[in-house]
Every structure is written in C-alpha cells, then in structure tokens.
C-alpha cells in the first residue's frame, strides 16, 4: 500500500505544479494570446520592475522639463531618448512582438531594462546642474555635526598617507569591478529566474531611487566643500590616479546623497547573504561583506561623502533588498495563478546555434516551479 507523499515546501511559490506538460502549456498560451488584443496582453505581462522604471523616467522627464539651470535642452534630449528606448524595448517584449519564450525576447528585455537604467547615470552629469544648480553641502555637514557630532573626512585627515590613500582607492575603484561581476553574470547567465528577478528589482530600486534623490539633495562632497580644512593631501599610486580619472571623466559631480558607492555593494552583500545556500553566494558572501565595508570607509576617507550620505545608502540598500525579495515572491505567485509568463523569460544561449533549450517553447511555468523549489530554504 502506497502512502501519500507530502508535497515539498516552497518558499517562493505555493501554487501546485500542473499534472502534465499539456496542462502547463495552457497558462503560457493564455499569456501569449490574451483576450482583448495587443494592449491587454502588454499590460497583463508588465512586471513590478517595468512599472518602477516607467515611473522613474516619468519623474526624470518632469524634472528636466521644469529645470531652470544650464544644460536643460541637452537634459531633455537625453531623457527623451531614454523614454523612447525603454518604451520600444518593453513594447517589443512584454507585448509579444518578439515571440514570448524566444532568445530574442529574453535578451532584448534584459538589455532594455539594465542599459536604460545604468546608462542614465552618466546623463546626470548634465541633468543635475540643470535640475538642481544649487548645493546643500552646508546643510549636510551641519546635519552630521548636529546629529553625529562627527565628520569622518575631517576626523580621519590625520591618517591620510600615500599608503592608506592607495588602500582605500583600490577598494573604491573595485566598486566598478563588483558591479560588473554581479550584473553581467546574473543578467546574462543566471538560470534561476526567481533569484534574477530579486536581484533586478532590488538593484533597480537602488539606482532609480538614488538618481532621483541626487536631484533633491545635490552636493559636491567634502573634497570640494571642505577643501581648505584638510592638512594632508590625498596622494597615492595607480589606483588613486584611476579613481581621480574615472570621477573626472564619468562622474556626475553632485551625486552624493545617497551614496551609491555605499548602497550598491551593501545591496550585493545582503542579496548574497539571503541566497547564501545557492552557489556561488555560499562562497562569495563573506568576501562581498568585507569588500562592502572597505568601500564604505573609502567613500569617507577619500572625502567624497558625508556620514549622512552613508547612512542613507545603507538604509536604501537594506530596504531595497528586503522589499524586492517580498515583492518578487508575491508577484511570482500572482503571475502563476493568473497564467502570466514569468518575470524573466529563459535566456538559452544554445538557441543561437539552433538548439532549443527547455524554455524554447515559451513555457516558463515549469522553470518557475523548479526555481521555487531551489529557493525553498531561506
């Protein structure tokens, strides 16, 4: 006599798996042919991250259209280009013009979201002076001294030497490596779509919120505002020169509150800890946590940020990691119950050579259930 087997607990999905591949195809086909036509299909397939980025660019557009500072015309042009590229990419993918479940759909969708958000940072070089020509450095410094009674960039001036400067410049510059080492593999090679969705929504929350707050709380940072109060000049070797060259060439100059050099590695560390039972995070999370602490200290030691910028960055990262995790879990269940495609479609690189992977038929439900079982342990 056979005893019934207790179903396996799933942290991410509480929806029972369909009994057959034929039954699994029903919600997928429903998602591809939503009654009501193209607009209904587009709206039904939209995810939380699509709405977030849409609101982000809408607020950016409002800001540049009402700007009074220099470079307004250039700022408007760049944001219009962003909006057009984002709209076209989402329409092609979420609207099903590119076949759902295809490599082209998955690739274009990923590139649309990540490139539009990340490249918009470099446009802040023109947008911030146009939208916020003033500076709040004096207010940020006063807040630090009033609330914390301490300003790290001034207090740590006594420890500035070429060796300490080079140490922290190494980690500060390493931020760009950590950003690439997380975004590119997870975006292009990640197989678990639930972890991918968590990572994506969280990092979009960090960057979109950070970019918008730059316009609300603009400032140059201690390096510029307190230039006459430091006794020891920042001098270093290769990495300090790389930091200076990078900031001068691509930095937005007035992008200090919140500190994204704090928020981003902190988010990576928290995300890695949440998924520490999965490879490679079980190995990388302690190293990521150490690197994050060094980058955070570097932002103040190298005089780029006030202490309140750091507190804001840590708060933003923690909130984004926890909120995005909860939203993705809820949205995954909701999309499965409504017969909507997963947040991210499968990106099967074998499809380039003509070989179709498991997701080639657009059936994302089975993959979603498998991903959920992998994520069962907290």
Q: How far, in Å, CA of 187 to CA of 242, rounded?
A: 27
Instruction: Give residue 374's pLDDT band: very low, low, confident or very high (50, 70, 90).
Output: very low
Q: Degrees (nearest 5) of the Cα angle 15, 16, 22?
A: 115
Q: Degrees (nearest 5) of the Cα angle 335, 336, 339?
A: 85
DSSP state of 328: H
Of 297-301, 350-354, 356-360, the one with minimum mean pLDDT is: 356-360
Q: Degrees (nearest 5) of the Cα angle 246, 249, 251?
A: 75
Q: Identify the pLDDT of residue 30.
A: 42
288 contact partners, CB below 8 Å, separation of at least 6: 178, 265, 268, 269, 272
Angle, in degrees to the nearest 10, between helices 307-338 and 48-65: 130
Q: Per residue in 323-333, pLDDT tens? A: 999 999 999 99
11-40 mean pLDDT: 50
**Number of other residues whose CB lies within 10 A of the CB of residue 258:** 25
| Token reading at 359 | 């997701």
Q: How far, in Å, CA of 75 to CA of 69, rounded?
A: 10
| H or E, element range at 50 | helix 48-65
Q: Are 89 and 109 in contact (CB under 8 A)?
A: yes
Question: What is this structure's pTM?
Answer: 0.84
CA distances from 159 to 162, 212, 293, 361 (A): 10, 34, 18, 60
Q: Per residue in 256-298, pLDDT tens? A: 999 999 999 999 999 999 999 998 999 999 999 999 999 999 9
Q: Identify the pLDDT of residue 249.
A: 80
**C-alpha 324, offset from chain centre:** 10
């Amino acid at each position: 006599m056979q005893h019934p087997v207790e179903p396996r607990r799933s942290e991410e999905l509480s929806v029972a798996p369909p009994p057959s591949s034929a039954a699994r195809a029903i919600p997928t086909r429903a998602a591809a042919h939503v009654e009501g036509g193209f607009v209904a299909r587009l709206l039904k397939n939209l995810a939380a991250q699509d709405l977030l980025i849409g609101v982000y660019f809408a607020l950016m557009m409002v800001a540049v259209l009402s700007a009074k500072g220099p470079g307004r015309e250039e700022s408007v042009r760049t944001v219009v280009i962003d909006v057009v590229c984002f709209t076209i990419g989402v329409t092609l993918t979420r609207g099903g013009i590119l076949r759902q479940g295809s490599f082209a759909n998955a690739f274009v969708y990923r590139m649309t979201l990540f490139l539009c958000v990340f490249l918009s940072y470099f446009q802040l070089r023109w947008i911030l002076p146009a939208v916020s020509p003033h500076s709040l450095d004096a207010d940020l410094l006063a807040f630090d001294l009033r609330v914390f009674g301490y300003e790290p960039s001034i207090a740590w001036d006594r420890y500035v030497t070429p060796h300490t400067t080079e140490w922290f410049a190494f980690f500060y510059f390493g931020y760009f490596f950590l950003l690439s080492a997380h975004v590119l593999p997870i975006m292009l090679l990640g197989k678990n779509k639930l972890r991918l969705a968590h990572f994506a929504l969280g990092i979009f929350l960090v960057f979109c919120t950070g970019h918008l707050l730059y316009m609300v709380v603009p400032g140059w940072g201690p390096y510029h505002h307190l230039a006459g109060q430091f006794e020891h000049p920042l001098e270093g070797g290769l990495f300090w020169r790389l930091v200076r060259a990078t900031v001068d060439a691509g930095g937005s100059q007035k992008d200090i509150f919140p500190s994204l050099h704090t928020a981003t590695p902190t988010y990576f560390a928290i995300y890695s800890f949440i998924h520490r039972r999965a490879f490679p995070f079980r190995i990388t999370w302690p190293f990521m946590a150490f690197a994050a602490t060094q980058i955070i200290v570097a932002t103040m030691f190298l005089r780029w940020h006030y202490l309140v910028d750091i507190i804001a960055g840590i708060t933003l990262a923690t909130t984004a990691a926890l909120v995005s995790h909860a939203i993705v879990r809820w949205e995954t269940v909701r999309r499965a119950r409504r017969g909507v495609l997963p947040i991210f479609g499968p990106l099967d690189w074998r499809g380039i050579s003509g070989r179709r992977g498991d997701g080639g038929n657009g059936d994302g439900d089975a993959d979603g259930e498998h991903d959920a079982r992998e994520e069962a342990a907290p």
